[in-house]
Structure 1
Amino acid sequence: MVDNARMRDGAVAALFAFIGLAYLALTIVGTWNNYSSVPFWDMWNGYLEFYAHSSEGWEPWWALHNEHRILLSRAIFWVDLHVFRGSMVLLFTLNVLFSVCIFLCFFATLRRLVPDGQRRITVAAAAGLIAVASFSWIQSDNFTWAFQSQFFLAYLVPLLSFCLLAWSAERDSRPLFVLALLTGMLGAATMANGVLASPVLVVLGLFLRLGWRRIVALLIAAAIELLGYFHDFKLPPDHSTLLGVLHGMPMDLLRYLLMYLGGPWHFVFQGRSLWFPVIGGLLLLTGIVAVGVSMLRARRAAPLQLALLAFLLFFGGTALGTAGGRVAIGVEQAMSSRYLTPQLMAWSALLILLVSQFRSFSKALLVVLALFIPLALLRFQLLTLEHPSKLFDHQVAALAIQMNVRDPDYLGRVYFNDRLVFDMAAEARRDHLSIFDEPPYRAYAQHAGTVMPQPGAACQGYLDDAVPLASDGTAYRITGWLTKADDFATPAFLLVADADGRVIGSALTGIPRPDVAQVIDPKAGQSGFVGYLAGEGRPRGPLTLIGQSPACQVSVELPAAP
């Protein structure tokens, strides 16, 4: 009987481990499918423009990015651009690794607080839920946007500082205490909410009953952190303030706050009603109160339990600050994908507290939740298998920037100001960094305005359209298709030469062309292209489309002007 029970428990534990690993594997696949070296939105100024000024002293590193000081992320950006030429592989990889670190930190805490071998299924089910929370694709913005390392660090770093302080209390370890203090101060170098880490460490130190010298050290560290952060601080003009919102829209603030606390339940129940996250927020608060009351009654709490409560206090302060600054945008904004990371972490912390504090916590309920929630979120996790078409649009926008073509239709997909983006990208273009280091962009920079040798192999292709860009005045957006004549392979990109053989344009292939596949060959199904003729008005005479990788060429006529 004992052996059968062990086998059953082992099988259940293996099932939850499989679920967690499956979620991680799908998240890795999703991050791979969403990889792009094209800077997006804040990356033009916060990544490329920062790097251009990074050698000008300390100020560019500590300067505000909106209301945040993203020093740690800037260090990562610098390494990516200086060492890896802005490929962003490091950035996407770290986003996944940070989520793994979050899981490992929670898992280690769970194992320390619930070591009893008789609760193997409970631990396995809780660990499975924590894995699902750590790797769920409902927080996809933080995996698919290379800029988002600070969103993981802003919660991982404080969590580590709280756990380190708890471990230092358990072992009466001075090195661990110093490490906790420094890690807490490092929180200010992640995002604005990171400044709360050191003050919360002071509160945690009091509950851990540290000696007065260590409490004073934590107070001094918190004071230094706050003074350093808010020196020369300026709140962005478009941000509302907590006091203003409390006075003007208190009910919206309360609703936003509750929806922020219970955001994951909006996705668990497939977005059927905005009441689900509100109820979830109330449940989170109820769970915290229940744990707190139980600890008070027992008059004891493990240091790591207090660390988790400290994290929930930190999360609560973050939620309140976010609500005050963002509620004017709309309460639904509380469930933005990027905000799901801290929300899921808060629920992981509460789960560990419930399982560790209430030994009678229903194993059956936990197992049901550990099966139901992954199934409920599976629809979102399977989105990792898709290949977003927007990534091609981002590459076209980067081509427009490389060619100095102002095309708001495409540029607006990577940055909100289609004029400033050219200045922000200037040094990256000059030094061939980031997307501008890739072959299509380097080739145009190298050959623009020159006569280049044309390959002997023939292409088949057609120039469907050449639309003048009113915003530019002299440039044209071109579309068409191109494939190699002998084997119907599609070139990776193409250059366009005028009647004199001078390169005056470029285009990227990869657009589905089922019409070409049907008439020419199925291999030519992705032969569609879009690109630009730059800077000299409407060219005269035939144009030559010069395919690259594989090389081929074909002469085409420019479509008649409308």
Structure 2
Amino acid sequence: MSGARRVMMSRALLYVLTFIAPLCAVLVVLTTLRAMYDAYLPLPFMDQWAVLSIQDCIDQLFDQHNEHRIVVFRLLSMLDHLVSSGTYLVNFYASLAMQGVQAVTFAALVYWAGVRGRLNVIQAGAISLGYMFWGGQWENFLYSFQTQFFAVFLAGTLAFAAIAAVRGWAGVGAASLCAALAVGSMSNGVLVCILLPPLAVWLGRPRRETAVLAGVAAGLIALYLVGYQSPDPDLTPFAALLKPLTSLRYTLAYLGQPLEELLRVQIAAVQGHRHLIAIVMGGIGVGLGVFAGAVLVARPSFATPARLVLLHVIVFIAASAALTSLGRLTFGVGQALASRYLTPSLIFWLALTFLWWSLLPDRFRILAPASAVCALVLMAGYGRQVDEVVRAMRVARDGAATALLSNVRDDEEFAKIFLDPQVVAARADLLRRQRLALFATPWAGWVGTPLVAHAALRPASACLGAFEGAQPVADNAPGTAFRVTGWAWDPARAGAPEKILLVDAAGIIVGYGLTDGLRPDIVASIPPVTRQEVGWRGHVKIDRPTQVGAFILLDDGRSACPLGGSRLLGGPA
């Protein structure tokens, strides 16, 4: 192939990549944002039950959580209580902002590393955005408690970038602040402190600045270790080191997870070989990282500040994977494929891709963005998996939410959101009294009040649906608490209503329901209904036998429409 023809083909490929990358990135971002909206429910989940108020945050601010010091999360939770009544909106917006900053930082780093040109800049921005917002990281995007996963890796990237890009003591101060945020986010933040001084030396920072930076790093590590206790006395890092091969497999699987996850949803045969594929891909990534590091050592002129930052991000993520393996060996290698670990492993591959993008000769440079855009195309097709996750989350949490709103004790549902249902029942009183989290929403205070005080009544012809069943809940006085089910459809919106109200014979609201179930039978038998997501379930709390009916909220809660099939509850069986 002639040189001119090769140049033309490379140019054409460059334009194709520049067209595809932004489209895929936008689709990835929109898919994740939609999932966050659909899954949002201001209900504490698992670890969040320990931090329900500002006082909880203050009392536990520097306390150890497993092996972490989650100071940053607790500070964000305090702000969330002040700004949004503990509804976790601050945490979610912070997560989005942090991933956005991470994407912008990487796009700037690859530009600084020498990848210039308008088309390359567009590709780099799209790749960064798509990687950082891919819905495969659903655990970190959809659970507000996971904010610190985004925080620690962003703080690490910014710490390395600050010491490389900001001159003088301002750079030392900025890097030190970012290192402190990393240590205050998760335990692997101490690795940032360990890596910063060598990076400063490699960059040729003045000795005094490097010495001060090393002193600050040592101080932060010491603060982290004050009062530290091993979460599992039987599994110390030293004991884990006795199983080096298991630790290595875990580390490589952790790093190789992104491609394994992308292939798993496209190729059924991959399902039975997940660990092997992840380990192999992790090994390839480590090999490429070691090779890139060797190039920078052997060719000092190649070791520009931006490339050194990218290399240190790669080392930070790889070391984080190894550190995680030391504390998670008892869970097996499969635990390395947890969704939350996709955040660091994606950063690992993004930094690796961008580093090689800047290092490869012009003839082969297109390979780096081409491989990243191929991955981005697969990420754009991940929407169905994200939808399934959201549906599973709603099924796990909605029952507990309607029970709490209806003041029903339902330990079976409570056990889905915390290991000890008694803790949920006891601590929910604090949320109810202070109108926090779930109880901060306007409709949470409607129970015990007339329906007509909140919504105008519409004729039954304005909606479709039925109140189909009721089952007593054993954890309450006999005949007072029930789980209820049915289906509902809003013809005006051509979709299922989100909220259901249960109303007694006097028109008083006695319970709540949420739509989260699939009902293919309804779609098959009732032509106007075109979507399966029409099943609802909820709870009712009454103090005497009464006829109970179900209403759906229409027009953004301004009106209510009755469903068919009211039932006598609390009466003779």
> Same fold, TM exceeding 0.5?
yes
1:160 aligned residue (158, 165, 171): 158
Offset of residue 257 of structure 1: 1.2
CA contact (8 A) 1:476 1:534 kept: yes
1:180 alignment counterpart: 175
What CA deviation, in whole Å up to 9, does each residue of 1:330-374 have, x standing for no partner?
A: 101111110011011011111222222333572353354134322
CA RMSD of aligned residues (A): 3.8
1:35 alignment counterpart: 40
Q: How far apart, in 2, do the equivalents of 1:372 and 1:485 lie?
A: 40
Q: How far apart, in 2, do the equivalents of 1:193 and 1:240 lie?
A: 17
Residue 26 in structure 1 maps to residue 20 in structure 2: no
What CA deviation, in whole Å up to 9, does each residue of 1:254-309 have, x standing for no partner?
A: 21111112121212332442222111121122112212221222233112222222
What CA deviation, in whole Å up to 9, does each residue of 1:195-239 have, x standing for no partner?
A: 221221112122223222112211221122122222122222378
> What amino acid is aligned across from residue 70 of structure 2 in structure 1?
I
Offset of residue 320 of structure 1: 1.4
Cα distance change of structure 1 residues 496 and 243 upon mapping to structure 2, 3 Å threshold: same
CA contact (8 A) 1:126 1:366 kept: no
2:256 aligned residue (251, 257, 262): 262
Q: How far apart, in 2, do the equivalents of 1:325 and 1:361 lie?
A: 44
Percent of pairs with identical residues: 25
2:413 aligned residue (405, 410, 415): 410
Offset of residue 128 of structure 1: 4.5
CA contact (8 A) 2:469 2:486 kept: no
Q: How does 1:3-402 map to 2 (within 5 A)?
A: 8=12, 9-10=14-15, 12-46=17-51, 48=52, 50-54=53-57, 58-117=58-117, 127-168=125-166, 172-237=167-232, 240-247=235-242, 249-270=243-264, 271-272=270-271, 273=273, 274-300=275-301, 301-359=303-361, 362-366=364-368, 368-384=370-386, 388=391, 390-391=393-394, 394-402=397-405
Q: How far apart, in 2, do the equivalents of 1:348 and 1:106 lie?
A: 8
CA contact (8 A) 1:464 1:559 kept: no
Cα distance change of structure 1 residues 207 and 59 upon mapping to structure 2, 3 Å threshold: farther
What CA deviation, in whole Å up to 9, does each residue of 1:20-71 have, x standing for no partner?
A: 333223332332333222222222224x2x53434xxx54222222222222
Q: How far apart, in 1, do the equivalents of 2:231 and 2:72 lie?
A: 21
TM-score (normalizing by structure 1): 0.84
Q: How far apart, in 2, do the equivalents of 1:6 and 1:487 lie?
A: 51
Offset of residue 511 of structure 1: 5.1
Please identify, of 275-284 and 450-459, the stretch whose mean Cα deviation from structure 2 is larger: 450-459
What CA deviation, in whole Å up to 9, does each residue of 1:158-190 have, x standing for no partner?
A: 11010110113xxx4322222112222221111
2:441 alignment counterpart: 438
> What amino acid is aligned across from residue 442 of structure 1 in structure 2?
G
1:494 alignment counterpart: 501
Q: How far apart, in 2, do the equivalents of 1:341 and 1:497 lie?
A: 48
Q: How far apart, in 2, do the equivalents of 1:452 and 1:25 lie?
A: 37
Q: How far apart, in 1, do the equivalents of 2:49 and 2:192 lie?
A: 29
CA contact (8 A) 1:99 1:135 kept: yes
Q: How far apart, in 2, do the equivalents of 1:294 and 1:65 lie?
A: 40
CA contact (8 A) 1:406 1:418 kept: no
Please identify, of 540-549 and 139-148, the stretch whose mean Cα deviation from structure 2 is larger: 540-549
Q: Which runs of 5+ in 2 are unaligned?
A: 265-269
Cα distance change of structure 1 residues 493 and 367 upon mapping to structure 2, 3 Å threshold: closer
Cα distance change of structure 1 residues 383 and 93 upon mapping to structure 2, 3 Å threshold: farther
Cα distance change of structure 1 residues 319 and 239 upon mapping to structure 2, 3 Å threshold: farther
Please identify, of 377-386 and 217-226, the stretch whose mean Cα deviation from structure 2 is larger: 377-386
Q: How far apart, in 2, do the equivalents of 1:420 and 1:434 lie?
A: 16
Q: Which runs of 5+ in 1 are unaligned?
A: none
Q: How far apart, in 2, do the equivalents of 1:181 and 1:487 lie?
A: 56
Cα distance change of structure 1 residues 158 and 512 upon mapping to structure 2, 3 Å threshold: closer
2:538 aligned residue (519, 531, 554): 531
Query: How many pairs align?
Result: 546
Residue 468 in structure 1 maps to residue 479 in structure 2: no
Q: Give secondary structure in 2 for the equivalent of 1:240.
A: coil
Q: How far apart, in 1, do the equivalents of 2:519 and 2:29 lie?
A: 35
Cα distance change of structure 1 residues 108 and 544 upon mapping to structure 2, 3 Å threshold: closer
Cα distance change of structure 1 residues 122 and 527 upon mapping to structure 2, 3 Å threshold: closer
TM-score (normalizing by structure 2): 0.83
2:267 alignment counterpart: none
Q: How far apart, in 2, do the equivalents of 1:353 and 1:312 lie?
A: 10
